[in-house]
A = this chain, B = another copy of it.
């Protein structure tokens, strides 16, 4: 097999462990210099390939690459650029192949969610038909945990851990003050289409009555009457009520609660979050004193409290992606396979990209309690192992030491610029 270079890119919303997958790819490639030449990373994701802005990871020291294990965000930059279908924008795909050909790239490692799995598949197919076959391997990543075939997605376990811990800590705060102060606390978390992240907050509860008392899932249509009744019940029984709401919580007709139209003083519609809206509803209906928090990017970048299990899996998937490529695989995604035993174990399996692309894995109804406000034991069994272990970064002067790479570009070889 002639030695080829590899291309690696990060796609979509970043996570606190996506760089661990990058580390897995690069370290493993470096072990096989006879087969893989340079690992070139896309600057700002796939845009880097389209613009021929390719980062030479070979310029980074061994320790800098190791530093990726403890560095959140996307070290090479990521992007939200979704490649259209082949029919709609064949030019973009052809440009990718052109750039890959110019830089002798034979391996395409794409680290992202559902959309990027689809892109990966198309690159593989088109490269074949254009006579420059590229082995395309998808490395799964998404905090939303909504990819099919893999038991879970790297990035999710760490968000789950952050949300579960934050819910427990804030709930203790509210519990100790509720006699004379805040009685209702609302934490808004990510998850626009699937309630996995909100569900993870349920791990904060160890026994009946523990917070969170109410979880709002996108999968369950919001019912204001039931919601307010549940708030009143929690306050009556426990003295306070902790609510964790998925940003994707929606009405029966599928519209998001967060789109319910607040206006500013000038009548402009206001793009507030869900948490303040729910707080207002609670206040109007019950008069309870409330507080609310929106963790937003904090939850997906909280490398300081990443899950060791999540980190290990993120690395292993990057490593396996390279091993698959070296074994001649194409159009596949390494995935997490959960062991059958009672004690949690996992290994890496292989999924065909044809079965992955454009399929969203929702929370099973059996993971949500019948009242729609909590998680079942089945959900707990699924979620609990994913947050195990504390993968602490190193600290200096009280602050975590995160790595910044040099990110030096290789010289361009193509005359043509590509506008995107």
Interface residues, chain A, CB within 8 Å of chain B?
Answer: 10, 13-14, 16, 44, 47, 71-81, 161, 164-166, 168-170, 172-177, 179-181, 185, 187, 203-204, 260-265, 268, 270-273, 275-276, 279-280, 283-284, 291-298, 300-305, 307, 309, 384, 387-390, 392, 395, 397-400, 402
Contacts and interface: CB of A to CB of B under 8 A. Distances in A.
Contacts of A173: 14, 72-73, 297, 300-301
Given A169-B297, A270-B280, 18 more contacts: A14-B176, A72-B173, A75-B176, A78-B176, A79-B181, A165-B304, A166-B298, A168-B399, A170-B296, A170-B298, A170-B301, A271-B283, A291-B297, A293-B297, A295-B295, A298-B298, A384-B398, A388-B397
Contact of A79 (B79, B177, B397): B177
Contacts of A400: 165, 168-169
Given A177-B79, A271-B283, A297-B185, A72 B169 contact: yes
B270 A161 contact: no
Given A173-B297, A276-B272, A387-B398, A262 B265 contact: yes
Given A298-B166, A392-B390, A398 B177 contact: no
Given A262-B262, A297-B293, A180 B392 contact: no
A28 to B, nearest CB: 22
A298 B297 contact: no
17 contacts: A14-B177, A73-B175, A77-B176, A78-B177, A80-B177, A165-B399, A166-B298, A166-B302, A168-B400, A168-B402, A170-B298, A173-B300, A204-B399, A262-B263, A262-B270, A291-B296, A293-B294
